[in-house]
Amino acid sequence: MLNVICGEDSASSRNYLLKVTDEYKNKGYIVHDIASPYLEDLAKNSGGTIGLFGQKPVYVIANLSRKYSKKKAPKIAKLIEELALDQSILIVDWEEGKSAYILSTLKKIANSFQEFQPQKSIFQLLDDCYPINKKGFIQSLNKVIESQEESFVFAMLCRHVRNLILAKNEALANNLSPWQRKKLLFTARLWPQDKLIGFYEGLSRIDIAIKTSATPYNLKQSLDILACYYL
């Protein structure tokens, strides 16, 4: 049995994973963290296994989708499908930062599929991230920080700007949805190449400064300053 927890809101999906594992523990299950190379051993030896005191096992794995490819790894894909059908084996897969669109093939074989999407305000912030829109960006940033963790907002912003650089150089990933690709290509055209690279480098400097306590400003203040310089 395969239960998938995913979504671009990694913080919420991670918290839900912890909640689910705690619930299993409270019900008397033994929770095991496993890596994908051990899937074959799991299929051979762990079906219906009971612990020393009669506890049933739950196996938690991360990013199983990286191994699930019928074209590149048909044997592993078949094994994962067999595990998903096996009611005696309970697997919880956490897909960090991945949307249902990217995981469409894995979703088809999952017994349950829980996706955590970012709030609309975070997408408005990303849409407002372009030159000559300093006021709009800062207003959106003020709004989104009220309801989202700063670290998550920063991670989403970094990924967005990185995708804009890829769009600028016609190197976007193939697994993006058509509407995402179209929007990124449009926004990338609003950025001069050197300014876009400079903004991304500024995000990298903020990341290092915050992690090393080398700045008197918090993350929100640092982003405000960066926006005033580049937007």
Single pTM value for the model: 0.68
Q: How far is the C-alpha of 78 from the C-alpha of 90, rounded, in Å? A: 17
Q: What is the pLDDT of residue 2?
A: 92
37 has a pLDDT exceeding 70: no
For residues 30 and 33, give the distance between their C-alpha atoms in angstroms, rounded to a whole number. Answer: 10
Q: What pLDDT sits at residue 223?
A: 95
Mean pLDDT of 181-200: 94
Least Cα distance to 90 among 51, 61, 52 occurs for: 61
Residue 225 clears pLDDT 90, i.e. is over it: yes
What pLDDT was estimated at residue 175? 81
CB 225 within 8 A of CB 206: no
Percent of the chain with pLDDT over 90: 57
pLDDT of 51 above 60: no
CATH superfamily of 2-115: P-loop containing nucleotide triphosphate hydrolases (3.40.50.300)
What single-letter DSSP state applies at residue 29?
Answer: P
- Confidence grade of residue 128 (pLDDT, cut at 50, 70, 90): very high
The listed range with the strongest mean pLDDT (107-121, 170-184, 210-224) is: 210-224
Q: Which residue has the tokens 């960006």?
A: 137
* Helix H or strand E encompassing 80: helix 74-85
Q: What is the pLDDT of residue 188?
A: 95
Instruction: Domain 120-230: give its CATH code.
Output: 1.20.272.10
Does residue 39 carry a pLDDT above 80? no
Confidence of residue 206 (pLDDT cuts 50, 70, 90): very high
Q: Where do the CATH 3.40.50.300 domains begin and end in the chain? A: 2-115
**Range(s) within the chain of domains with CATH label 1.20.272.10:** 120-230
Q: What is the mean pLDDT of the chain?
A: 88
**Tokens representing 174?**
């193939």
